[in-house]
């Protein structure tokens, strides 16, 4: 890159020189996309005669080259220059010299002067190499063509759902929508006069359910699947005898409390990262300890020592998964596909080493149970800086990679860095989002990989080739130009076979996310995501279409109202300032060499300091789109600079958490962060390899599961009440597709479904207790409407199961837990969200833990009482009482009462059936329901039935027929 000759974005070779004038070869004079002549010839031969970036025909380039150069160097107005200013993207900074998309001569002249000062010798050497390459005999070039053809193939492809499956699915959706319209027309025009409040409540709830169905259904209109080609990735970027061209990746692992998040689980995640199937020099693992715990620090020190033995063992025998705890405990034939006779012996030795390693880590955990009065002390006798988790300096320790530590076979190991950001009283630290932003800055200073993968501490790498899967999208020049992240589905270990509480969330990951992948990409779900670092910096994709004057700025669309023209000028000014900084940032270390004109360019640096903070090293790294530490950075001061950027006051008066990095303002910062990126015009990709990329652990007992759902729902309510609500945010740029906006609206509206859902679940019991019903006597037309509605619901579900490939049991568990979570966690999230956002009251629902039984799924039967359990318990009791009362009333009234009873009991049983997993959770272990519970239930039901028959309290005392009936019943 430093040679001055750009690299071909197809084959990875240098572009070379043109034959006619000795200058660098330019394939497309419209956008200057760097492609060598050999690749152009191959593309034209295959019938693809247009530019990969701007789609301009190649045969017209020569005719337009002169005119284009004249226009590009003389922009008409400052506004036009800003509108066409290129945003920072996947193109390297050296390539930008030849692009000149801004039409700004300052950029080209400034970079040229910088290169002449810094890289004059390297330029001359590189030109000599290019000239030698141009003299390669034609025979040798012909021999290389087959390899080039393989490398030029796309690295992935889209596999649409077969038309035989998707076409009937879409037809049924439209039919269901039409039937719904006729159904609501009938319901509104046929009120139940004798039970008007019940009828009105039911109609309102049904309309809301239909609205929720539209939000959830239509984003699944065009689901797709994807397939990757790892062999083509290797052929293009890992050629034998040449340096590896795969992009570096920085891994982020976040942990807070080692007592709640065991260090052994975090260590397994780290070990699986260090042993990943990727070049070691391209991998760096950053562990964020947001609690500043010495236990986490010491466990990482032990982990780094064990990694010297574990990493070579994994790579030597290609084992899966590469987290030792899960590898040694899985039940399978570990000799399958193993051909080396030494494998069994080395596996036994490694298992013994791991058991000893576990003993050492568990000893650290046992030691940390009781904190000394004077705090923890390190090995050299100095106090541990993090003794006060709320008031401590920033800490960074490089365990592997930097000090030259090698594995037991003498090979290099990936970098492992411990990071604990500074904490001081009086500062807002923003929990996980703040910790992730600190890791962005630390990694940018130390390694600055162009791609970032973030994982929770309990999500280990289950597929060692997962990073290569993501690179098939991000490093493909035809796909990755506007991809902000690649999202992998979440898969879990340790869940019971029936998945009682829908922990796997199969419907969301295998149905909804595939549907979003066919629009603008899946939502960001917090873990298992490979990011483009430039997208996290708040920049727009390189192929973003020109913003029209009627469009407003993305960053200003929700601020104070301005005329449309003023908003457009704001966008222009913002983009222009970025371009000015691009010109000036290379010379931050050579200010004394600038003339007056050059110094004026540094004015724009002030705007970048307001955006990114006061760190020239970090600012310079943001412009290196292909990664790498800036040449101007002093290696001896990098750690000091890294400590500086994780200071608690670094983000003050900057755009961190507002426009760049993980976005603050919600406990579900993942949804908000992905939403902001896609509003800028980025798209995401959903990658589902055959072997799950990552696996984690999920809370499988009822109380913990409900509190997890409560936290997600609370974050959605916070976004709904913020300025980032998808109902009104991001319309100015027109970069978020409508179906994508519909999906994001669904993610922030679904908690409010809890209110009509609770009302609808109580209605059957009220109808049974009062003898009223929400539906009048059905006519033939009404019967057809009801039948058509139920059939359309069933057929839609069946066809959805067909194209998605999920099982009916997973679908049914999802339906059950939708009701369970809706009447419990979602309801509390709505009230807690309003209290927090409007009144500033932060309500926490405490959980009382009791001892669990021993067994494989002991946590499944662990019962923790919490207030979240009250609403569904109440609904269950009311419906059970209603069923008993209904049957008692039917027995008392005679044969004619059984017909109306059927409809009422049907809806009541619908509620009980959906709440059945919740009922099992209350009872505890299967077949061990306490006898006293059964006896009391039978006794109370019997007593209530007898009292109901004799008293019948819901019948009006003024009704003469009712009085006569009561007299008959009581023999008066």
Instruction: Lowest mean pLDDT of 336-350, 521-535, 688-702, name the range.
Output: 336-350
Domain 231-541+657-698 has CATH 3.30.1360.70: no
Of the two residues 189 and 569, the one the predictor is more confident about is: 189
The pLDDT score that the predictor gives to residue 758 is 92
User: What's the pLDDT band for 286 if we cut at 50, 70, 90?
Assistant: very high
The pLDDT score that the predictor gives to residue 882 is 84
With pLDDT > 90 as the criterion, what percentage of the chain qualifies?
32
Given a contact cutoff of 8 angstroms between Cβ atoms, the answer to whether 502 and 817 are in contact is yes
Report the DSSP beta bridge partners of residue 461.
Answer: 694
The reply to whether domains 1-60 and 231-541+657-698 share a CATH topology is: no
> C-alpha dihedral over 642, 609, 670, 841, to 10 degrees?
100
Give the C-alpha separation, 338 to 329, whole Å: 18
12 burial via Cβ count (<10 Å: 0-12, 13-18, 19+): middle
Q: Does 260 count as an annotated binding residue?
A: yes
Q: Kindly report, residue by residue over 588-646, the tens digit of the pLDDT.
A: 344 444 444 444 444 455 667 788 888 888 888 888 878 788 776 777 788 888 899 99
Q: Kindly report, residue by residue over 835-885, the tens digit of the pLDDT.
A: 887 776 665 544 444 334 445 556 666 666 678 888 888 888 888 888 888
Given a contact cutoff of 8 angstroms between Cβ atoms, the answer to whether 248 and 447 are in contact is yes
Report the DSSP beta bridge partners of residue 395.
Answer: 420
User: What's the pLDDT band for 550 if we cut at 50, 70, 90?
Assistant: very low
User: What's the pLDDT band for 298 if we cut at 50, 70, 90?
Assistant: very high
Q: Does 893 count as an annotated binding residue?
A: no
Given a contact cutoff of 8 angstroms between Cβ atoms, the answer to whether 449 and 536 are in contact is no
Q: What are the sequence ranges of the domains in the chain?
A: 1-60, 231-541+657-698
491 Cβ partners below 8 Å, 6+ apart?
462, 504, 692, 694, 695, 696
Of the two residues 749 and 949, the one the predictor is more confident about is: 749
Q: Kindly report, residue by residue over 673-698, the tens digit of the pLDDT.
A: 999 999 988 999 999 999 999 999 88
Q: Does 456 count as an annotated binding residue?
A: yes
Of the two residues 455 and 900, the one the predictor is more confident about is: 455
Sign, CA dihedral 738-744-748-753, equals positive
Tell whether the model's pLDDT for residue 564 goes beyond 50. Answer: no
The pLDDT score that the predictor gives to residue 509 is 93
Strands 451-456 and 249-255: parallel
Give CA angle at 779 (776, 785), nearest 5°: 95
The pLDDT score that the predictor gives to residue 855 is 53
Of the two residues 704 and 899, the one the predictor is more confident about is: 704
Q: pTM for the complete prediction?
A: 0.76
The pLDDT score that the predictor gives to residue 484 is 93
The pLDDT score that the predictor gives to residue 489 is 94
What is the average per-residue pLDDT within 306-328? 92
The full 3-state SS of 476-517, as one line of letters, equals CCCCHHHEEEEECCCEEECCCCCCCCCCCCHHHHHHHHHHHH
What is the average per-residue pLDDT within 322-334? 85
The pLDDT score that the predictor gives to residue 794 is 92
Report the DSSP beta bridge partners of residue 249.
Answer: 283, 451
User: What's the pLDDT band for 358 if we cut at 50, 70, 90?
Assistant: very high
Active-site annotation holds for 290: yes
Q: What is the DSSP string of 690-754?
A: SS-SEEEE---SHHHHHHHHHHHHHHHHHHHTSTT-TTTSS-SS--S-HHHHHHHHHHHHGGGGH
536 burial via Cβ count (<10 Å: 0-12, 13-18, 19+): buried
The pLDDT score that the predictor gives to residue 499 is 82
User: What's the pLDDT band for 945 if we cut at 50, 70, 90?
Assistant: low
Give the C-alpha separation, 133 to 124, whole Å: 14
Tell me which residue of 693, 627, 696 sits closest to 250, measured CA to CA: 627
The pLDDT score that the predictor gives to residue 512 is 93
Tell whether the model's pLDDT for residue 559 goes beyond 70. Answer: no
Domain 1-60 has CATH 3.30.40.10: yes
Q: Kindly report, residue by residue over 446-458, the tens digit of the pLDDT.
A: 998 999 999 998 8
The three-class DSSP label of residue 454 is strand
What is the average per-residue pLDDT within 707-722? 90
What is the average per-residue pLDDT within 317-330? 90
Tell whether the model's pLDDT for residue 801 goes beyond 50. Answer: yes
User: What's the pLDDT band for 129 if we cut at 50, 70, 90?
Assistant: very low
What is the average per-residue pLDDT within 400-405? 74
Beta strands in 508-602, from DSSP E residues, in sequence order: 529-532
The pLDDT score that the predictor gives to residue 68 is 34
Of the two residues 408 and 757, the one the predictor is more confident about is: 757
The pLDDT score that the predictor gives to residue 549 is 35
What is the average per-residue pLDDT within 708-722? 90
The pLDDT score that the predictor gives to residue 551 is 34
Q: Kindly report, residue by residue over 426-443, the tens digit of the pLDDT.
A: 888 888 999 999 999 999
The pLDDT score that the predictor gives to residue 879 is 86
797 burial via Cβ count (<10 Å: 0-12, 13-18, 19+): middle
The pLDDT score that the predictor gives to residue 483 is 92
Active-site annotation holds for 889: no
Tokens coding 684: 């995401």
Q: Which of 670, 704, 810, 889 is catalytic?
A: 670
The pLDDT score that the predictor gives to residue 134 is 45
Q: Does 496 count as an annotated binding residue?
A: no
Q: Does 80 count as an annotated binding residue?
A: no
Tell whether the model's pLDDT for residue 102 goes beyond 60. Answer: no
Query: Which segment, 97-101, 738-742, 860-864, 954-958, is predicted with the most confidence on average?
Result: 738-742
Longest Cα separation, the chain: 118
User: What's the pLDDT band for 798 if we cut at 50, 70, 90?
Assistant: very high
Tell me which residue of 421, 393, 441 sits closest to 612, measured CA to CA: 441
Question: Residue 227: left if φ>0, alpha if ψ -120 to 50, beta else—which one?
Answer: beta
Q: Which of 95, 216, 250, 290 is catalytic?
A: 290
Q: Kindly report, residue by residue over 166-220, the tens digit of the pLDDT.
A: 999 999 999 999 999 999 999 898 888 888 888 899 999 999 999 999 999 999 9
Given a contact cutoff of 8 angstroms between Cβ atoms, the answer to whether 258 and 376 are in contact is no
Instruction: Lowest mean pLDDT of 337-341, 492-496, 810-814, name the range.
Output: 337-341
What is the average per-residue pLDDT within 688-714? 88
Q: Kindly report, residue by residue over 52-95, the tens digit of the pLDDT.
A: 666 677 754 433 333 333 233 233 333 333 322 222 222 222 33
Instruction: Lowest mean pLDDT of 61-70, 111-120, 132-141, name the range.
Output: 61-70
Across all residues in the chain, what is the average pLDDT? 76
Given a contact cutoff of 8 angstroms between Cβ atoms, the answer to whether 454 and 440 are in contact is no
What is the average per-residue pLDDT within 18-43? 73
Q: Does 432 count as an annotated binding residue?
A: yes
């Amino acid at each position: 890159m430093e040679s001055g000759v750009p690299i071909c974005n197809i084959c990875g070779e240098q572009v070379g020189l043109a034959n006619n004038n000795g200058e660098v070869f330019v394939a497309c004079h419209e956008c200057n996309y760097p492609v060598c002549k050999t690749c152009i010839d191959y593309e034209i031969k295959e019938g693809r005669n247009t530019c990969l970036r701007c789609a301009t025909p190649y045969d017209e380039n020569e005719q337009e080259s002169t005119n284009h150069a004249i226009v590009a160097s003389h922009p008409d107005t400052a506004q036009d220059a800003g509108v066409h200013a290129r945003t920072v993207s996947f193109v390297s900074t050296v390539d930008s010299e030849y692009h000149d998309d801004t039409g700004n001569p300052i950029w080209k002249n400034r970079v040229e002067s910088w290169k002449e000062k810094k890289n004059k010798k390297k330029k001359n050497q590189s030109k000599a190499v290019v000239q030698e390459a141009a003299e390669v005999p034609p025979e040798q070039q012909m021999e290389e063509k087959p390899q080039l053809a393989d490398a030029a193939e796309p690295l992935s492809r889209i596999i649409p759902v077969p038309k035989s499956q998707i076409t009937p699915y879409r037809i049924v959706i439209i039919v269901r929508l039409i039937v719904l319209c006729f159904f609501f027309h009938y319901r509104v025009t046929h009120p139940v006069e004798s039970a008007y409040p019940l009828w009105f409540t039911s109609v309102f709830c049904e309309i809301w359910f239909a609205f929720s169905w539209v939000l959830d259904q239509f984003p699944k209109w065009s689901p797709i699947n994807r397939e990757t080609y790892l062999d083509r990735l290797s052929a293009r970027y890992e050629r034998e005898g040449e340096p590896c061209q795969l992009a570096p990746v920085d891994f982020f692992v976040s942990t807070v409390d080692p007592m709640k998040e065991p260090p052994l689980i975090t260590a397994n995640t780290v070990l699986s990262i260090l042993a990943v199937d990727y070049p070691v020099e391209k991998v760096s693992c950053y562990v964020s300890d947001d609690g500043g715990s010495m236990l986490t620090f010491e466990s990482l020190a032990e982990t780094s020592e064990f990694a010297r033995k574990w990493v070579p063992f994994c790579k030597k025998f290609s084992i899966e998964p590469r987290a030792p705890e899960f590898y040694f405990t899985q039940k399978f034939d570990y000799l399958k596909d193993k051909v080396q006779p030494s494998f069994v012996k080395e596996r036994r030795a490694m298992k013994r080493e791991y058991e000893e390693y576990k003993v050492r880590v568990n000893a650290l955990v046992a030691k940390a149970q009781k904190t000394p009065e004077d705090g923890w002390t390190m090995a050299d006798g100095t106090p541990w800086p993090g003794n006060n988790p709320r008031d401590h300096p920033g800490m960074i320790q490089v365990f592997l990679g930097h000090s030259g530590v090698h594995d037991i076979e003498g090979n290099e190991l990936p970098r492992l860095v411990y990071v604990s950001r500074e904490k001081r009283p009086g500062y807002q630290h923003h929990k996980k989002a703040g910790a992730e932003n600190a890791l962005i800055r630390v990694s940018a200073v130390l390694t600055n990989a162009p791609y970032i993968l973030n994982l929770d501490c309990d999500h280990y790498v289950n597929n060692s080739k997962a990073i290569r899967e993501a690179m098939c999208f991000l490093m493909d020049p035809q796909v990755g130009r506007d991809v902000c992240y690649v999202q992998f589905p979440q898969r879990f270990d340790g869940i019971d076979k029936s998945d009682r509480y829908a922990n796997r969330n199969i419907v969301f990951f295998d149905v909804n996310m595939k549907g979003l992948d066919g629009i603008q990409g899946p939502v960001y779900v917090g873990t298992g995501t490979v990011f483009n670092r430039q997208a996290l910096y708040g920049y727009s994709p390189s192929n973003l279409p020109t913003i029209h004057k009627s469009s407003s700025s993305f960053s200003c669309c929700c601020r104070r109202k301005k005329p449309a023209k003023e908003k457009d000028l704001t966008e222009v000014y913002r983009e222009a300032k970025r371009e000015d900084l691009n010109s000036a940032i290379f010379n931050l270390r050579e200010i004394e060499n600038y003339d007056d004109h050059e110094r004026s360019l540094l004015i724009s640096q002030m705007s970048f300091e307001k955006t990114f903070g006061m760190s020239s090293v970090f600012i310079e790294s943001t412009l290196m789109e292909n990664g790498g530490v800036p040449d101007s950075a002093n290696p001896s001061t990098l750690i000091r600079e890294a400590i500086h950027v994780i200071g608690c006051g670094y983000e003050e008066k900057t755009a961190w958490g507002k426009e760049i990095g993980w976005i603050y303002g919600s406990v579900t910062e993942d949804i908000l962060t992905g939403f902001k990126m896609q509003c800028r015009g980025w798209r995401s990709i959903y990658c589902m390899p055959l072997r799950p990329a990552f696996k984690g652990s999920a809370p499988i007992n009822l109380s913990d599961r409900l509190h997890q759902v409560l936290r997600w729902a609370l974050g959605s309510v916070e976004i709904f009440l913020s300025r980032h609500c998808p109902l009104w945010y991001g319309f100015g740029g027109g970069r978020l597709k409508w179906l994508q906006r519909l999906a994001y609206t669904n993610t922030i509206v679904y908690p409010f479904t809890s209110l009509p859902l609770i009302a609808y679940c109580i209605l059957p019991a009220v109808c049974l207790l009062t003898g009223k019903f929400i539906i009048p006597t059905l006519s033939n037309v009404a019967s057809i409407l009801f039948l058509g509605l139920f059939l359309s619901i069933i057929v839609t579900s069946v066809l959805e199961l067909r194209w998605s490939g999920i099982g009916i049991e997973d679908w049914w568990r999802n339906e059950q837990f939708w009701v369970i979570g809706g009447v419990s966690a979602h309801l509390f999230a709505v009230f807690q969200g309003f209290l927090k956002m409007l009144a500033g009251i932060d309500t926490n629902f405490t959980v009382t833990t009791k001892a669990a039984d021993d067994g494989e799924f002991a946590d499944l039967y662990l019962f923790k009482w919490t207030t979240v359990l009250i609403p569904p318990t109440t609904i269950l009791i009311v419906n059970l009482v209603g069923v008993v009362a209904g049957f008692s009333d039917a027995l008392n009234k005679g044969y004619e009462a059984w017909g109306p009873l059927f409809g009422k009991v049907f809806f009541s049983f619908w509620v009980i059936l959906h709440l059945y997993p919740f009922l099992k959770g209350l009872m505890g272990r299967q077949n061990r329901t306490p006898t006293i519970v059964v006896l009391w239930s039978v006794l109370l039901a019997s007593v209530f039935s007898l009292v109901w028959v004799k008293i019948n309290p819901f019948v009006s005392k003024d009704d003469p027929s009712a009085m006569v009936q009561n007299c008959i019943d009581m023999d008066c």
